Structure 1
Amino acid sequence: MKTLRKELHFNLPARRGLVNITGQVQQAVIESGVKDGLVLVNAMNITASVFINDDESGLHADYERWLEKLAPEQPYSQYAHNGFEDNADAHLKRTIMGREVVVAITDGRLDFGTWEQIFYYEFDGKRDKRVLVKVIGE
């Protein structure tokens, strides 16, 4: 059994942002030497998400509009959580978009369906955040 633990680091310049991390995850799989197994990709902050979907700009804009309707950033006073912070909406958006993904590894490659890519989505940026990549297999 082989394993690899790797952290990806982000500090996005805006409050919200979307990053395709598929290449970085595939690189971790290659570094691990695992040919058959699983990779867990996990947002290590409660105001960020990791999810799988299509890398299409219209869809990305749709996420932003949809999430802002469900959990609008402002007015900050609408949230009981906001006091010393103003990021209650970020916590809610993360809950909607999810914490992590697990992807099969076959022949040393991420085993995706058509169009699938892995994304990091930040909802409270402008500070250091981490994503855990844990590869396990043979």
Structure 2
Amino acid sequence: MMRQAVTTLSVRTAGAGLVEITGQVERWLSGQGIATGLLTVFCRHTSASLVIQENADPDVQTDLVRFFKRLVAEDPSLYIHRAEGPDDMPAHIRSALTAVTLSVPLVQGRLALGTWQGIYLFEHRARPHDRQVVLHLMGE
């Protein structure tokens, strides 16, 4: 019989960078009693995003942040929208270039992630934020 479960995770960021949320997601999944299904992970923000990325070497996260800073300049003269500071519009662009929704299969009660994969909230703003990530699980 197909079942559904939904929750919202709160994620505190320290500013621009990646915050791994795989453990939080797995803890919630373990209590749902669903063995096979599909998990949707949704970020409720326009200046943060989600990525599935390597979780073995922290240099990967450092390089990703540096790459996106080079790719999308934080130069206020480039943007009309500057309401929340010089990093606001670049954060929106970085979010648009990544994803706010991820889908991950659930197989035998576990996320079907690869050996070195983790789920990350990608904070694109310079200062700390409290972010919300909605998890929606469908399965049996």
State the TM-score, normalizing by the size of structure 1: 0.90
Letter in 2 for 1:85: E
The corresponding residue for 1:85 is 84
Residue-pair matches, total: 135
Q: Does 1:106 align with 2:115?
A: no
Task: Look up the match of 1:133.
Answer: 135
User: How far off its partner does 1:28 sit?
Assistant: 1.9
Please give the residue correspondences for 1:27-66 in structure 2 after superposition, counting only pairs within 5 Å. 27-55=27-55, 56-66=57-67
Instruction: Tell me by how many angstroms 1:68 deviates.
Output: 0.6
One-letter identity of the residue aligned with 2:71: L
Q: Counterpart of 2:5 in structure 1: which amino acid?
A: L
| Match runs of 1:110-125 below 5 Å | 110-124=111-125, 125=127
> Alignment identity in percent?
30
State whether residues 50 and 120 of structure 2, in contact with CA within 8 Å, keep that contact through their aligned partners in structure 1.
yes
3-state SS, counterpart of residue 68 of structure 2: helix
Shift of residue 36, structure 1, vs aligned partner: 0.4
1:11 deviates by 3.0
**Gap runs ≥5 in structure 2:** none
Please list every run of at least 4 consecutive aligned residues from structure 1 whose deviation after the TM superposition is greater than 3 angstroms: none
Report if the CA contact (8 A) 1:37-1:135 is conserved.
yes
Q: In the alignment, which residue of structure 1 is the partner of 2:10? A: 9
CA-atom RMSD in angstroms? 1.4
- In structure 1, runs of 5+ residues without a counterpart are none
Cα deviation for residue 120 of structure 1 reads 0.7
CA distance in 2, matches of 1:47, 1:18: 13
Partners of 1:47 and 1:122 within 8 A in 2: yes
Q: In the alignment, which residue of structure 1 is the partner of 2:98?
A: 97
